[in-house]
Homo-oligomer: A and B are copies of this chain.
Amino acid sequence: MAVYTHLGSERLAELIASYDVGELVSAKGIAEGISNSNWLIETTGRDGTGARYVLTMYERRIDVTDLPFFLGLLDHLAAEGCAVPATIHDRDGAACREVEGKAVALIEFLPGVSPSEPSPAQAHSAGRALARVHLAGTRYPHTRQNPLTAENSAGILARFSESRLAGIDPDLPATAARASDIARQMLGGLPESIIHSDLFPDNVLMLGDEVSGLIDFYFAANGAMAYDLAVTHAAWAFDPRGETIDAAVGRALVAGYESVRPLSAEERAALPLLAQAGCLRFVASRTEDWFDTPGDALVRRKDPMEFARRLEFYRDAGQGAFA
């Protein structure tokens, strides 16, 4: 959550002039995005009545060879009527430019705020929006392999000894020990599309109870649609520490999803395992980050236990987690 690169206003004005969006009026670095720098940009607009955009500079983690996939996906989904920001192409038609050696994209600004404590009505709207992305995603011609499989997560966790894991929390080794078992049970064959993979409430903009935008598609990949729904369930339906489920929010999310795209019996049956696999991914990435981030760093480390607890909940409750 920071602006990693200083871009002077003269340089910004020059960059904005590469697009047919009017002249630069205002630019504020915004505290958004995990590993990108972002600016909220205002211009005079094409017609002089003003327009706003988000300028994203890709700093780390994101492989720039994936950018055409991500930016093309936004354009595809926006064209299909999904609530996602379209990219603005420059005067030469490119969705992506280079500034000071880094890739940048100018992206449509969408109104809305992210709920901190989502209501069932908001979860229902998010479920509908996710299903629409899945349906539209089946028509996206490009592919990206999901690097965050359960097998991959199990591999990450296997690198840390039981005692190191216990150093984070005494309950973590037991959850980590289930990783390879979860990975082994994962079935192929569920219907696939492009999945968001990271649809936390932070990545959903809402006006009142209605989704105004889904953002941050930088984990998007090909994958099982029901897995994406299960990940979203895990991200929305618990208190922050992962101790208590908000069953009404979870039910509304799935109901909203099914109002647009009903699940098959196989998909429904797979939800508890898919949710465990989704939690496993966050347990693995947060454990890895924990050991990579000094305890006294200014960046707050995210506790892997928040998702280890959710994982245990899905394991214990089975279908009950979705009832």
Partner of A3, one of B1, B8, B40: B1
Which chain B residues lie closer than 8 Å to A115 at the CB level? 8-10
Q: At the interface, yes or no: A247 with Cβ under 8 Å from chain B?
A: no
Which chain B residues lie closer than 8 Å to A24 at the CB level? 113
Partner of A31, one of B2, B11, B42, B114: B2
Cα distance A3–B113 when bound, in Å? 16
Q: At the interface, yes or no: A65 with Cβ under 8 Å from chain B?
A: no
CB distance from A301 to the nearest CB of B (A): 14
Which chain B residues lie closer than 8 Å to A298 at the CB level? 297-298
Q: At the interface, yes or no: A191 with Cβ under 8 Å from chain B?
A: no
Q: Which of A100-114 contact B (CB under 8 A)?
A: 111-114
Q: At the interface, yes or no: A26 with Cβ under 8 Å from chain B?
A: yes
Q: Which residue of chain B lies nearest to A12 when distances are taken between CB atoms in the complex?
A: B113
Cα distance A1–B114 when bound, in Å? 22
A40 near B25 with CB under 8 A, answer: no
Copies of this protein, total: 2
Partner of A40, one of B2, B40, B111, B207: B40
B42 near A111 with CB under 8 A, answer: yes
Q: Which residue of chain B lies nearest to A119 when distances are taken between CB atoms in the complex?
A: B10
CB distance from A32 to the nearest CB of B (A): 6
CB distance from A39 to the nearest CB of B (A): 9
Q: Which residue of chain B lies nearest to A207 when distances are taken between CB atoms in the complex?
A: B25
CB distance from A13 to the nearest CB of B (A): 7
Which chain B residues lie closer than 8 Å to A32 at the CB level? 28-29
B30 near A30 with CB under 8 A, answer: yes
Q: Which residue of chain B lies nearest to A112 when distances are taken between CB atoms in the complex?
A: B26
Cα distance A223–B235 when bound, in Å? 55
CB distance from A222 to the nearest CB of B (A): 31
| Interface SS, A side | mixed
A9 near B207 with CB under 8 A, answer: no
Task: Given A1-B3, A298-B298, check contact A113 B27 (CB 8 Å).
Answer: yes
B13 near A113 with CB under 8 A, answer: yes
Scan A2-26; emit 1 where CB is below 8 A from any B CB, else 0: 1100001111110000000000111
Q: At the interface, yes or no: A98 with Cβ under 8 Å from chain B?
A: no
A30 near B31 with CB under 8 A, answer: yes
Which chain B residues lie closer than 8 Å to A205 at the CB level? 26
CB distance from A290 to the nearest CB of B (A): 18
Task: Given A28-B32, A29-B30, A30-B29, check contact A10 B116 (CB 8 Å).
Answer: yes
Task: Given A3-B1, A30-B29, A31-B31, check contact A10 B117 (CB 8 Å).
Answer: yes
Cα distance A10–B24 when bound, in Å? 31
A9 near B113 with CB under 8 A, answer: yes
Name, among A11, A13, A112, A114, the residue most crowded by chain B CB atoms within 10 Å (CB to CB): A112
Scan A97-137; emit 1 where CB is below 8 A from any B CB, else 0: 00000000000000111111100000000000000000000
8 contacts between A and B (CB under 8 A): A2-B31, A10-B115, A26-B112, A26-B205, A28-B30, A29-B31, A29-B32, A30-B30
The 3 closest A-B pairs by CB, nearest first: A8-B116, A9-B113, A29-B31
